[in-house]
Chain A
């Protein structure tokens, strides 16, 4: 793979990662107390956990299955999506049966997908709780895009001749750098693509363009020079 293509693909991977993180519903510490909608953890932590699960799937496919790169990317995307999907589902089981609250969004009056009314189910003094369908679907989309982005990073680094271990190491760092950009942009919490904070996405894409471009230039430049 020639260096310019590699740099462009790494920038695309970085942009995919920031788009993904904007889709994943995280409520941070308030969500862990059922005071906000989303998964009760930090943005970077959850996105990285999902992205790296996809990276393990993609790494296996890339080296042993002898398949086209797009199958590797899809496999990484599916691996990440499974991680985030199962985590959100069991998270909801805990909200519903362990805490006794229904999943509900406080950012919209009606769920854009199911059209269910939301505001009358929001507990007083909270910003929603659990993971309603719209946030769940958003998380699934985010998991998939993030998995594809992480896998793309890994595949490109392998294609330019970096060994698998170092490629994975750089891919992890690259993923976290882009996830942190997104986390700053959404100030740590977001409900999903229906959240007004999602409109800040272009700023994150611009930041990712700069950061990913810099990292890509250093890494790919180091390989070819």
Chain B
């Protein structure tokens, strides 16, 4: 493969990963999966009844490894029957989204039903309104994971089977979504009634916002909010990882690719330090705490 084609394919993988990351994070926001879910589950126990979708099927990495593996298996069977690649990916991702929908429904009803003793009702319209959003974002994420896994498998002739690559990238995209974009939902959107930057006192646990810009808040509102920052940030994270890791392997000799990777890591440490200094300078210490500590 010539270098230009290789770079084009790496860019395609990076783009697919960016879309997959953003869709994965927004799907987890619509369904309140992963860590912010703890607050949704806790809310009725502190007297906050809500219309928030509440599913915690599992951690995001195993969940997305599962969906991606199902989609890749179906797609692989169809490709072996001479289906068009993109039709096979679409059908595979569709089958995975059906599984996703089933798990989301049972997880939501099960978790909400467990809060019955605190007076939390099960709203069927909440479930019916959110499921299409969950399944469609899951479809987009899974489809893009299949694209980048297939490029790695078919064009770069990676030794791992296609389904295993989809499994691995499913775990990775879930880990990234859970680590980055979910913080925007859990720390900011769920507690938007607190002043920005106040830091979230543990005493506020469970006291999530239930009123929307208009009417009662649902997770469709939350996805709208997180789509402005948390979702794209997750996409950029996954896209950068896939692009930079494959770019260095493609463009340089094995020894040089390690050196280039090490330089990138040093730049990441420096960038983090610059960010930290910016935040410390602009946000400053807590005046009361400073006064208390220094007598």
Q: Is B269 an interface residue (CB 8 A)?
A: yes
B261 touches A81 (CB 8 A): yes
Q: Is B51 an interface residue (CB 8 A)?
A: no
Q: Complex formed: what's the CA distance from A50 to B262 in Å?
A: 16
Q: Is A164 an interface residue (CB 8 A)?
A: yes
Enumerate chain A residues within 8 angstroms of B204, measured Cβ to Cβ. Answer: 125
- With beta carbons under 8 angstroms apart, the residue of A67, A71, A101 that contacts B199 is A101
Enumerate chain B residues within 8 angstroms of A93, measured Cβ to Cβ. Answer: 233, 275
A74 touches B180 (CB 8 A): no
Could you say which interface size class chain A belongs to?
Answer: 35 or more
Q: Is A10 an interface residue (CB 8 A)?
A: no
Q: Complex formed: what's the CA distance from A90 to B76 in Å?
A: 34
Q: Is A56 an interface residue (CB 8 A)?
A: yes
For chains A and B in complex, what number of residue pairs have CB atoms within 8 angstroms?
275
Q: Which of B84-92, B132-140, B250-258 makes up part of the contact surface?
A: B250-258
- With beta carbons under 8 angstroms apart, the residue of B60, B167, B188, B290 that contacts A45 is B60
Q: Is A29 an interface residue (CB 8 A)?
A: yes
Chain B proximity of A113: nearest CB distance (Å):
9
Chain B proximity of A188: nearest CB distance (Å):
11
Enumerate chain A residues within 8 angstroms of B180, measured Cβ to Cβ. Answer: 87, 90-91, 94
Q: Is A53 an interface residue (CB 8 A)?
A: yes
For chain B, the count of residues having a C-beta within 8 Å of the partner chain is 83
Enumerate chain B residues within 8 angstroms of A131, measured Cβ to Cβ. Answer: 272
Are A49 and B174 also in contact (CB < 8 A) when A34-B199, A94-B183, A165-B164 are?
yes
Enumerate chain B residues within 8 angstroms of A86, measured Cβ to Cβ. Answer: 237, 240-241, 244, 268
Enumerate chain B residues within 8 angstroms of A125, measured Cβ to Cβ. Answer: 199-204
Are A94 and B184 also in contact (CB < 8 A) when A49-B175, A56-B165 are?
yes
A56 touches B168 (CB 8 A): yes
Q: Is A23 an interface residue (CB 8 A)?
A: no
Q: Is B249 an interface residue (CB 8 A)?
A: yes
Are A61 and B158 also in contact (CB < 8 A) when A82-B245, A100-B283 are?
no
In the complex, which residue of chain A has the Cβ closest to the Cβ of B292? Answer: A120
Q: Is B38 an interface residue (CB 8 A)?
A: yes
Enumerate chain A residues within 8 angstroms of B73, measured Cβ to Cβ. Answer: none
Q: Is A28 an interface residue (CB 8 A)?
A: yes
Q: Is A177 an interface residue (CB 8 A)?
A: no
- With beta carbons under 8 angstroms apart, the residue of B35, B167, B265 that contacts A29 is B35
A49 touches B61 (CB 8 A): yes
B279 touches A57 (CB 8 A): no
- With beta carbons under 8 angstroms apart, the residue of B62, B178, B186, B200 that contacts A126 is B200
Of residues 113 through 130 on chain A, the ones whose CB sits less than 8 Å from some CB of chain B are 114, 116-117, 119-126, 129-130
Q: Is B179 an interface residue (CB 8 A)?
A: yes
In the complex, which residue of chain B has the Cβ closest to the Cβ of A87? Answer: B179
Q: Is B31 an interface residue (CB 8 A)?
A: no
Q: Is A224 an interface residue (CB 8 A)?
A: no
Enumerate chain A residues within 8 angstroms of B229, measured Cβ to Cβ. Answer: 94, 97-98
B164 touches A41 (CB 8 A): no
Question: Main secondary structure on chain A at its contact with chain B?
Answer: helix
Q: Is A200 an interface residue (CB 8 A)?
A: no
Enumerate chain B residues within 8 angstroms of A75, measured Cβ to Cβ. Answer: 249, 254, 257-258, 261
Q: Is A14 an interface residue (CB 8 A)?
A: no
Enumerate chain A residues within 8 angstroms of B174, measured Cβ to Cβ. Answer: 45, 49
Chain A proximity of B92: nearest CB distance (Å):
19
Enumerate chain A residues within 8 angstroms of B14, measured Cβ to Cβ. Answer: none
Enumerate chain A residues within 8 angstroms of B198, measured Cβ to Cβ. Answer: 100, 123
A126 touches B199 (CB 8 A): yes
Q: Which of A133-141, A191-199, A204-212 makes up part of the contact surface?
A: A133-141
- With beta carbons under 8 angstroms apart, the residue of A65, A92, A100, A133 that contacts B197 is A100
Q: Is B289 an interface residue (CB 8 A)?
A: yes
- With beta carbons under 8 angstroms apart, the residue of A45, A65, A85, A102 that contacts B265 is A85
- With beta carbons under 8 angstroms apart, the residue of A35, A48, A87 that contacts B202 is A35
5 pairs, A vs B, C-beta closer than 8 Å: A45-B178, A98-B184, A99-B183, A100-B196, A124-B289
* B residues apposed to A, CB below 8 Å: 34-36, 38-39, 59-62, 152, 156-161, 164-165, 167-168, 171-172, 174-176, 178-184, 186-188, 190-191, 196-205, 229-230, 233-234, 236-237, 240-241, 244-245, 248-249, 254-255, 257-258, 261-262, 264-265, 268-269, 271-273, 275-276, 278-280, 283, 285-286, 289-290, 293
* A residues apposed to B, CB below 8 Å: 28-35, 39-42, 45-46, 48-50, 52-53, 55-57, 59-65, 67, 71, 74-75, 78-79, 81-83, 85-103, 114, 116-117, 119-126, 129-133, 136-137, 140, 164-165, 168-169, 172
A67-B254, A98-B183 given; 10 more Cβ-contact pairs under 8 Å: A32-B183, A40-B35, A40-B186, A49-B179, A92-B275, A94-B183, A99-B183, A100-B198, A123-B199, A140-B265
